[in-house]
Amino acid sequence: MSADDYLSELDAEANKVGTPPVGSTTGESDAGKPAAASAESDRSSPQASREAFEGLLKKRYLGSYGFYQKLPERSRQEVFEEYQQGADMDQLRRKIVNRLLQH
Q: Which of 57, 20, 15 is nearest to 36 (CA)?
A: 57
The pTM score is 0.57
Show Cβ contacts of residue 1 under 8 Å, excluding neighbours closer than 6 positions.
9
Per-residue pLDDT at 33: 45
Per-residue pLDDT at 44: 59
Residue pair 62/75 in contact (Cβ under 8 Å)? The answer is no
Give the chain's residues under pLDDT 70.
1-5, 10-48
Per-residue pLDDT at 56: 94
Q: Write the single-letter amino acid at 12.
A: A
Q: How far apart are CA 52 and CA 54, in angstroms?
A: 5
Q: Give the start-to-end residue ranges of the domains of the chain.
A: 31-102
Per-residue pLDDT at 43: 60
Per-residue pLDDT at 32: 44
Per residue in 10-33, pLDDT (tens digit) is: 666 666 655 544 443 444 444 444
